[in-house]
Structures are given as structure tokens and as C-alpha cells.
A and B are shown apart, each in its own frame.
Chain A
Amino acid sequence: MKTGGIWYLAVASLRRHRVRTAILVATVGVVAGLPLVTDATLAAYTSAITARARATPILIGPRGGETDLLLDALYLRPDGRSFLPVNAVTEAVEGVDAETIPLHVRHRVAGYPLVGTDLGYFRLRGLRCAEGHMPLRLGDCVVGAEVAARMGVGAKDSLVSDPEGVLDVVGGFGTRLRITGVLAASATPDDQAVFCDVKTAWVIDGIGHGHEDVDASPVYGDVPAAPVDLPRMAGVDEANLGRFHFHGDPSEFPLRAAIVVPASASEGLIVRGRLTDPDSMGQAIVPVQALDQLLDIVMRIQGIVRMLTSVLAVLTTVLLVLIGALALRLRRVELATLAAIGVRRGAILGLIVSEWTFLLLAGGASALALTLASRRWGVQLLERFIAST
């Protein structure tokens, strides 16, 4: 040690009282960082959700809450209750020059949403495979970048869809899916989802299935007995692909929503006009417009957080002053000793001020770090929270 001084003493004091220092720095960091984090996160969230909404011209979904439809379709929230039949979509776009992208968002894989769609979705969102290729056949799937990273899976691995619920004793086994690719990271909810063809999703619904060979059933004398219930195949592979079939009218198969990309604004108007009838099964929303309601809620939350933070800041300031006063009382012998041995009053004041300056600077740095962290992960966390609610 060739240099020292008041700053050295201030740092020594803070280091010696590590726990107190850490608590004070964390307190200052949180109180100062909270409004910054909220503002940064909500601004980034607003920007992200607006961009995603802008890239989604029209959404068709079942009648009901617009916000739920918006969030389910944009944030891929699995919803097992709200759906509309395929024909509600085909009738709305019939004769209109528009691309229609189905969205089946009902099941999960290892907790991540399983999205049944078609290749148009990947084109619309600008998604490409970082590894492998897009799902081409029944039973294929691609995983988002975060799913792949967290689960440690890649192309040629397989996943099993989550059983519908613990009480689902009939169809309680999941369906095996073959991973054909991993999507490149896009910093959107697509990173946290698994994608398959919509027909694969219908297989998981139980609408489409294959059966094991009847030969495997018990034989009584010369006559093979048909089992009471033919065992369903747990997954689609090369060998059994041809034995999968669907029951029922395909136009009645369920979708959570459909994204419609009209060739022109007037084509879009036609689609929306067809679904204005309150008796129609579906509704058409323009996500950017529907988003205004959501952003209004976001702004209100921001206002509440700001108000709470202001109250918290006042209380924290009072608390810090109290802690400072108590700390001075505890240190009165030390300060009196310094004064007695001739240390200038300004130097003693400088020591106290330096300690608090370092504390506040460290707290400010923590707030900055929190803000930077929120810019990196805040939107993802918020999106995950929204997706889970």
C-alpha cells in the first residue's frame, strides 16, 4: 500500500461492515432501479408487442375476448377451451386473395406451448432453421431456440407431448414427436415454443390416429378376436405413417385462430366485414388496433408502479437518514478520537460523505445493472408471465 487517504478509509469501513453495506446498496439499487426497470421493460415490451402485432395483419378467432385471442395468438398461450372450426375460417376467406395460416395452440411439450400451424407461419415471422429442416410430415416438429437450449435437444431427437391432465385416464399418454429442426433465435415468444403441422396437433387432439396390428390381439381357436379397444399408436414413424387417419369432417376440426394475410387492404376489409355479424362463430380483429386496449392496461400498470416507487423512495430516504444517524451514534467514539488527535472537521465530514457517496454510487450502479439486465431479459420474463396467465 503506497497510497491511502479518506477514500481508502471509507472503503475500509464499508468493506468491514459488509452485510450492512450490501443491504444498503441493494435497497438503493432496487428503489432507484425499479422505475428504470419498469420503464425500460415496458417500453421494450410495448415495442416488441407492437412489432409482432404489426406483422400480423388480421386474426380470426372464436367470438369472445379480443385480448385473450390476441395474446393466445401472438404469445402462443395454450388454450383448451376456445376454438373455432376450420370452416369458419375458410368461409371468411373464401374467394379473397389472402394467405391463411392456421394456429392450433392447445397442447404443451415439457411445459412449452405446442403450436400446430403450416409453413406460412415461419415465412410470416421470418423464422428459419439454425439446424435441420422445417416439419414436413405428420409427427415432425421444430423447436424454438430456447426450448432446444434448455432441454438440450436438437434435430433427430424426439419429444413427447404433455398428457392433457393428471385426471385424463383415457388419453393420458403423450404423443411422440420427431424433432426435424431447431429454429434460429428470434428474441420472440417463438423461441419458447414447439411447432408442428396442424394435422399433427389434431392427432394429439385424438381426431387423427393409427392403430396397432390386430394380429397382436388374443386369438381364440382359429378366429382372431377384435380387441375391445384397438391400442392407439403413441407416435408417428416411417413404419406406421400410412396407417394414420382422421375421423370426422375436416372442416369441423378445431383451430385456436388463423392469421390472415390479405393481398390488399380491400381484401382485408372483405374478410373483416364477413365476420361482423354477431351471430357468426368467428370474429376478426386487427391486432394493432386490439393492442391499444392492452397498452392502455400496460400504461396504467406503469402509472401504479411509478406511484408505489415514489412512496417507496420517500420511505427509503427516511430509513437511510435514520440508519445514517444511528451509524453516526455508533461511531461517535471513533469520530471523537479522530477529532481529538487533530483530524480536521472537514476530513471527518469527508469520511462520512465519502462512505455515503460510495454507497449511493454502488446503489446507482446496481440500479443500472438491473436496468441493463431488464433490457436483456425483462421482455422475455414479462412475455413468459403473460403467457402463463
Chain B
Amino acid sequence: MIAIDELRFAYPGGRFELAVDELRVATGSSLALCGPSGCGKTTLLHLVAGLLPMQAGSLRVGERELRGLSEGRRRTYRRNEVGLVFQNARLVDYLSVRDNILVVEHCAGFVRPLAEPLQRCVALAERLGIDHLLHQRSDRISQGEAQRVAIARALLLEPPLLLADEPTASLDDASAAATIDLLVATARDLGTTLVVATHDPRSRDACDARFTLPSPLLAPHA
């Protein structure tokens, strides 16, 4: 599913450099991206999501090589093939839980028929235990519930790849455990490949495999 070779990335003007010589993630499996703070977990996740442009090396997701893809194509790739879960749920505060889950469908046109996506939305909400919240305002639910809404939003289009960036970092212990278990189980049930950037040992243990990034490489000052 994911094949990375000789990947190198540095932020313009920064001293940090990410280096991943080789990484493979099988389709339908789950991987915990581990490592100390600042080692580049989020950067790697963003590269896989196409949020950052590739600089050097190779990064293939399925049959698609991300290096050289334009911003527009990376956006299309992200919409069609990647589900993203952020550290904070980052829900749209003026929308209900249901509309947050459906937001990508809403944004696909000025007027959109939503009968079929709505069925998927309800099914996902039931699976994630938030179906009773569908008509709630998204700013009136707990953080754990908001994170489950974010997972549902990420999975609505049934992407083959789900990327989660510290999904439990802002949750209490009980919510964090429930959320990571639900995330891994749902991805597994749907056959979705899951990559989780995490510090949380429970998240590491819940995934099929782990990949630890080394301490950050700091380029010498210019």
C-alpha cells in the first residue's frame, strides 16, 4: 500500500531534516509511527497525505507516486484516497455532527443530493457510537465524541488509507483508550490501511506494526 524509499524532506530555512530510507505498509494493516517529539512524525504523515510536496526520494501510495504531483492533484488524491484525523477534531463549529461528517460531500457542489452519503453517515455514526449525536451542534459534544465524529468524517468516502495524527493526545485516558480501539477496529473492519502518528503506548500496542523515527537530524547552521 505505502512504499517509501530514500525520502528526504526539509522545511525551507529550517534546520530539521526528515530522512526515511525505507518503509512499507501493507494494505489493510495498521502502523504506529513513533519517535520523540520533533522527529518528523507529523511531517511524514503530511507527506503521505499529500499536504506537503515531496522533495527527494520516492513515496508511493498504491500505484500512485506522490513525488511530482501538483497541488491540485494532491488535493484530489487526498479527497479520494485519504482520510485524515487530526490531533484536535477540528470540526466546523457552525455545523451539526451529521453535517460535519458529510462536509466533504457538501463541498462537492453548490447543491448536492445526499441520500446515499447520508446512509453511509448514519452507518458510520452507529458503528462509532455517535448516532445519538447526529443532530447535536458540534461545539456541544465532548472531545472524545468530537474525535469520533472526526473519524467518521475521515471514513465517509471509504478511503483506502486513513492517517491519524496524535488522535488521542487531547483526550483523557478513558476516552483515549476507547478512541484508539475504535479507530483500529473500524479501519480493520473496513479494510482500510491505518497509519497513526502517536506517543501513546496504547496506540502503539493496538496497531499491527510500529515504525520508529530516529531523533531529528539537524542540519548545520548555514
Least CB separation from A16: chain B residue: B94
CA distance A351 to B107 in the complex (A): 8
A contact residues, range: 20 to 34
Q: Can you list, as one digit per residue, whether each of A344-384 has a CB less than 8 Å from chain B (1) or not (0)?
A: 11011011001000000000000000000000000000000
Known: A337-B92, A342-B82, A343-B79. A7 touches B110 (CB 8 A): yes
**In whole Å, how far is B122's beta carbon from the nearest beta carbon of chain A?**
12
CA distance A36 to B144 in the complex (A): 54
Query: Do residues A6 and B106 form an inter-chain contact, with CB atoms below 8 A?
Result: yes
Most buried by A among B78, B94, B113, B118: B94
**A15 contacts across to B, CB distance below 8 A:** 94
Whether a CB of chain A sits under 8 angstroms from the CB of B97 is no
CA distance A7 to B109 in the complex (A): 9
Query: Do residues A2 and B78 form an inter-chain contact, with CB atoms below 8 A?
Result: no
CA distance A351 to B78 in the complex (A): 20
A-B contacts, CB under 8 A, total: 95
Least CB separation from B91: chain A residue: A337
Query: Do residues A345 and B75 form an inter-chain contact, with CB atoms below 8 A?
Result: yes
Whether a CB of chain B sits under 8 angstroms from the CB of A311 is no
Query: Do residues B106 and A4 form an inter-chain contact, with CB atoms below 8 A?
Result: yes
**In whole Å, how far is B79's beta carbon from the nearest beta carbon of chain A?**
3
CA distance A296 to B166 in the complex (A): 74
Least CB separation from B96: chain A residue: A12
Q: Which chain B residues have a beta carbon within 8 Å of chain A's beta carbons?
A: 49, 51, 72, 75-80, 82-84, 86, 90, 92-95, 98-99, 102-115, 118, 153-154
Query: Do residues B79 and A341 form an inter-chain contact, with CB atoms below 8 A?
Result: yes
Query: Do residues A9 and B103 form an inter-chain contact, with CB atoms below 8 A?
Result: yes
Least CB separation from B79: chain A residue: A342
Q: Can you list, as one digit per residue, whether each of A312-345 has a CB less than 8 Å from chain B (1) or not (0)?
A: 0000000000000000000001100111111111
Query: Do residues A6 and B113 form an inter-chain contact, with CB atoms below 8 A?
Result: no
Query: Do residues B92 and A342 form an inter-chain contact, with CB atoms below 8 A?
Result: no
Which one of B49, B110, B154 contacts A354 once the chains associate, using CB atoms below 8 Å?
Answer: B110
**In whole Å, how far is A291's beta carbon from the nearest beta carbon of chain B?**
53
Which one of A13, A17, A340 contacts B84 once the chains associate, using CB atoms below 8 Å?
Answer: A340
Query: Do residues B104 and A9 form an inter-chain contact, with CB atoms below 8 A?
Result: no
Which one of B106, B108, B114, B153 contacts A2 once the chains associate, using CB atoms below 8 Å?
Answer: B114
Query: Do residues A342 and B78 form an inter-chain contact, with CB atoms below 8 A?
Result: yes
Least CB separation from B83: chain A residue: A341
Most buried by B among A9, A341, A343: A341
Query: Do residues A4 and B94 form an inter-chain contact, with CB atoms below 8 A?
Result: no
Whether a CB of chain B sits under 8 angstroms from the CB of A1 is yes
Which one of B77, B84, B93, B110 contacts A341 once the chains associate, using CB atoms below 8 Å?
Answer: B84
Known: A5-B109, A12-B94. A338 touches B103 (CB 8 A): yes
Query: Do residues B111 and A3 form an inter-chain contact, with CB atoms below 8 A?
Result: yes
Query: Do residues A6 and B154 form an inter-chain contact, with CB atoms below 8 A?
Result: no
CA distance A363 to B153 in the complex (A): 35
**In whole Å, how far is A321's beta carbon from the nearest beta carbon of chain B?**
22
